[in-house]
Structure 1
C-alpha cells in the first residue's frame, strides 16, 4: 500500500491511497473461506459449497468491506505518523467511473488542515477585570430585606408608605401583561410612590415607563420584556392593584441573628453587615470571573487572526451529522459555529503552550469541593470524609458528569492563566455598576 500527500495550500491537502491486490487478497480469501464453512445453500452440504459460488454471491461485498477497513486503518495510521493536525475528518473524493472489477485501486481524500498561528496573551487590549464590592447602600438594603422577610405580613386594604403592592402591569398595544410585586421605594421618583398612597385593592394607577426606575433592567423584569425592547421605552402602562401588604419589621436582635446563622455566630448589626458583605462579594467574585473569562475569550477570537479551510469545512458539515445537509444549511451551520471552532483552536494552543492538563487528583479535589458546597446548602455543614468521598466516587463513575466537571476544572485553569498573563485594567465597582458593564452601559 502506498500513501502520498499533495498539499494544495497551507490549509488543504489531498491524500492518495493506492491499494494493490496483495494488500487485501489474503484477508478477502480468509473471510470467504469462513463463509464457505458456514454457508447453507440448497443442494450442497454444509461446508461443501463451491468457492466459485461463494465468490459470486459474497465476493464483491467482502471485497468492499475489507478494502474499506484497510483504508480506514492505514489512513488513520498515516495521519498519526505524519503528525497532521486536521479539522473534521478526511473526505473521500467521489470518482464517477470507479471500477471495482480492477485488482488495484486508487482512492483520494481531501483534508482540511489546522492553521498555524500565534496567541499573544500579553497583547495590548481594553479588557477590564472587575472587583465587585458590596457598598453601604446594598448592605443597608439587604438588612432591610431581612427585617421584612422575617417580620410579620399584614394584609391591607389601602396603600400606605412602606407597603408592598402586587398587581398587573399592562399595555395592550405592546402586549404587556405581567403580574409582579413592588416595594414603593423602588421607584426612581418619590412622586410615583405617592401616586399609590391611599389607593385600594382593585384601583388602577397609570404610570409612564420612562424614568420609572433607576435601572432599565428593573423595568425589563417587571414588564417581562426583552433587553432590546426596554431601552428608550416611553409609553404609559397601567398597574391594577390586587394585593397590598404591610410589614411589621423583625427586630435586629440576638434571636434574629441566631435564626439566620446559628447560636452566637453573629452578635451585632455590624457583624451581620460584615457577614452579608463577605457572602455577597464571594458570589460577586464568581460573576466577575465569568465575565472576565467571557471577555478574554471574545477578545482572543477577535484579535487572533488566522484563516480556516472554510470550503472544506462546509463540505464536511454536509456529511458529518446523522442527516445530510444541503449546501445552504451547511453554510448557515458554519456561520453559527465558526467562532466556536476558532476558540477551540485558540484554547488548544494556549493549553499546549502553557502545559495545562487535568490530573485525576485535580478532578477529585474539585469534585470534593463541589459536593461539600452542595451539602452545606442543605444544612450539612460538617459531613464526614467518608460520606463526601462516597458521593465523589459515585459522581466520578458517571462519564457525563466527569466530562462536565473536567470542563469546569479546565475553565478554572484557563481563568487563572488569563488573570496571570492577560493585561487588563482593574476596576472596583458596585453591583449595580457591574450589571451596567455587563450590558455595555458603563464606561471603562
Structure 2
C-alpha cells in the first residue's frame, strides 16, 4: 500500500491511497473460506460448496468490503501519523469507472485543512464587570424577607401595600376566577379605583386597564398570552378579602430561621450576609458576560481563512438528508462563526495547556455534588458517599460532557482574567442589566 499527499494550497490537499492485491488478498480469501463453511447453496452439502462458486456469488461483495475496511484504517492511521489537522472528514472523489475485476485500486480523498494562525488579545480593552449589591438592593431584600416572614392582618378596605383577593367575572368571555394579587401590581388607573374599596364591593374596569404587566392579567383571568394581549372587555371585580402583611421584626428568632442558629446576630450582619451571597451570584453572571465578550472580540479580531468550498461540499454530502448547493451554503454561513471560535478556543487550550484532566474533572464533580447536598441540609457528607456518586456521574457520557464544558468555561474565564486586556468597571446589578443586556 502506498499513500501520498498533494498539497493543493494551504487549506486543501488530496490524499491518494494505492492498494495492491497483496494488501487485501489474504483477508479476502479467509473471508470467502469462512463463507464456504457456512454457505447454504442448493445441490451442495454445507461446507462442500466449490470455492469457485462461492467466489462467483460473493467474491466482489467481499472484495469491496475488505478493501473499504483497509482503506478507512489506512487513511485514519495516515492522518494521525502525519498529524494532519483536518476540518470535517475526508471526502472521497467520485470514481464511476472503478473496475473491481482489477488487481490494484487507487482512491483519492479531498481534505480540508485547519488554518495556521496565532491568537492575540486586542489592545482595545474588554469590560470586566464587578457587580455590587448596593444599599437600595439590600433594603429591598431585607424588606422582602420581613414581608415573607411577617403576619397577615385583615382590613375592611383596600389600602396601599395590601394583598387583595378578588373574583374576576366577564360572562361574554366566560371568565369567572378568584385570584390574589398585591396592590402594587395594579396599573395607575386601577390603583385609583381600588384604593379605599371595601370588601364585598364590585368595581367595573376594562381588562386593559387592570394591571401594569400583561402576565399578571394572564394569571388572574386564567387566559392565554394571545388572549390576554387581544382582550379588551369590561371585567367586574369583586373584592373578597383585603390583608396587609406586617413586617417581621428583625430579631434573633428571624435570623436563626433564615440563616441557621447563631450564624447571624444583628441586622448589620444580616445585610453583610445578604450582600456576600448576592455578589457570589453576580460574579457568575459577570464571568459569563466576560466569556461572551472576549469570545466576540477574539472572533472579530483573529483573522484567518477557512477551506470554505470544501466545507460547503462536506456539509452537502454528509448530512442526514441530501442538500442542494444553496442549502449547504446557507448552513455553512450559519455555522462559520461557531467554527471559527472552536478553532480559536482549541488553539488557546492547546497552546496554554488548559485541557481538562480526568482527576480534576472528578474533583470538580465532587464539588458540584457537595454543593447540591448542602442545599438539602447535608453540610458534611461522607467522603466515600461523595466518591461513589462522583464515579456514577463519571460513567455517564452526557454528564461528563456537561461538567467538562462547565469546567472548561471556568478555566477559560480564569485565563482571560489573567491574560486579556480587561477594564474593570464596578456597577450595581440594576446598572449591569441595563448596560450589559440593553
TM range (shorter): 0.7 to 0.9
The Cα offsets for residues 341-387 of structure 1, whole Å up to 9 and x where unpaired, read as 11111111001110112222211221111111111111222222232
Task: Look up the match of 1:175.
Answer: none
Match of 1:286 among 270, 284, 287: 284
Decide whether the 8 Å contact of 1:6 with 1:14 is kept in 2.
yes
> 2:16 — aligned with what?
16
Change (3 A) 1:223 1:90: farther
Equivalence for 2:228: none
Q: Distance in 1 between the 2:88 and 2:99 partners?
A: 28
**Matched-pair contact (CA < 8 Å) for 1:202–1:242:** yes
SS of the aligned residue for 2:120 comes to coil
Larger CA deviation: 329-338 vs 67-76: 329-338
Number of the residue aligned with 1:129 = 128
Establish whether residue 145 from structure 1 lines up as the match of residue 144 from structure 2.
yes
Specify whether residues 202 and 78 from structure 1 end up closer, same or farther in structure 2 by C-alpha distance, changes over 3 A only: farther
CA distance in 1, matches of 2:164, 2:417: 45
Q: CA deviation at 1:198?
A: 2.7
Compared CA separation, residues 147 and 285, structure 1 to 2 (3 A): same
Structure 1 position 222, deviation (Å)? 5.8
CA 1:84–1:204 in structure 2 vs 1: closer, same or farther (change >3 Å)? farther
> SS at 1:425's partner residue?
strand
Query: Closer, same or farther in 2 for the Cα pair 1:289/1:199, shift >3 Å?
Result: farther
Change (3 A) 1:196 1:421: farther
Correspondence list, 1:218-367, <5 A: 245-367=243-365
Q: Tell me how far apart the structure 1 counterparts of residues 179 and 133 of structure 2 sit (CA, whole Å).
A: 26
Cα displacement (A) at 1:195: 6.1
Q: CA RMSD in A?
A: 3.2
Which sections of structure 2, spanning at least 5 residues, go unmatched? 169-177, 219-231
The correspondence for 1:380, drawn from 378, 381, 399, is: 378
Instruction: Please report how far the alpha carbon of residue 69 of structure 1 lies from its aligned counterpart in structure 2 after TM superposition.
Output: 0.9
- Structure 1 residues 198 and 415, CA gap change in structure 2 (3 angstroms): same
Equivalent pairs counted in the alignment come to: 413
Return the alpha-carbon distance in structure 2 between the equivalents of residues 144 and 165 of structure 1: 19
Q: State the TM-score, normalized to the length of structure 2.
A: 0.85
**Contact conserved, 2:193 with 2:203, CA < 8 A, in 1?**
no
Distance 1:131 1:208, change over 3 A: farther
User: 5+ unaligned residues in a row in structure 1: which ranges?
Assistant: 170-178, 214-218, 225-235
Aligned to 1:174: none
Task: Report if the CA contact (8 A) 2:190-2:205 is conserved.
Answer: no
Residues in 1 aligned to 2:123 and 2:233: alpha-carbon distance in whole angstroms: 47
Question: C-alpha displacement at 1:119, in angstroms?
Answer: 0.6
Alignment match of 1:408 (pick from 399, 406, 409): 406
Instruction: Report how far residue 102 of structure 1 moved.
Output: 2.1
The whole-number CA distance in structure 2 between the counterparts of 1:56 and 1:95 is 23
C-alpha distance after superposition, 1:218-277 (max 9, x if no partner): x687689xxxxxxxxxxx999986775521221111111111112222111111111110
Map of 1:227 onto structure 2: none
C-alpha change, 1:180 and 1:19, in structure 2 (3 Å) is farther
Conservation of the 8 A alpha-carbon contact between 2:204 and 2:237: yes
Q: Distance in 2 between matches of 1:247 and 1:385?
A: 45
